[in-house]
Structure 1
């Protein structure tokens, strides 16, 4: 006589992991970047524009848009797109660090210099790429901490 095969029944165990900081937004967490991006208008940009030593034409070059487009944004209080917002916020970090370190006029003068650590390129010329802006921010950080080139 043949034995009937046993049916396999897996053990079901309930596993729970307790998160101290949940990876999802909670009502008490800060607003997400998505919310900040949607609401970043020319009015917000104007606050950053007033802090820095750059003209509207220089901002247009750094954001890869025309001066006319910036003036249209000002007239309509339009929102910027995501890449422009990222560049503006990175440049705001640069402006804040530079103004803190050199003062507004000193920072404006320093932007015209050509430090050895930037391959003797003018600082202002480096501000057209993300990596160039990051290099300048890193250089300001080294200057703040007294680290030579």
Structure 2
């Protein structure tokens, strides 16, 4: 099974953080996980809040766990709050129903892993994740 390499994860993180700086965003935390939701790499900027690592991993791994972006999970939470709330107890790395978790696909459309970004608004987190994925010459689900 293909996965995101450590070098690709580092590229994603660097480009994600650079995009956040370019946009003048609050300090970000970025997690890259493999196709099983296991952490490959995480980095956070100075002054990020202490839960950011868990939130970033939860956005990425939760997206993989349900096969949709964390933005879509947020929409699902509005539609079926009890269902999404109940998943927290069984999601090993958490489940964050807010934009910023994006699945990374191979050329055949299979999940290689995911990126989770947190620290600014959820929309901005997602924009930065997409920029990081593109910088690594990888494809984001739905892009």
Greater strand proportion: 2
TM-score (norm 2): 0.24
TM-score (norm 1): 0.24
Bigger Rg over Cα: 1
Greater helix proportion: 1
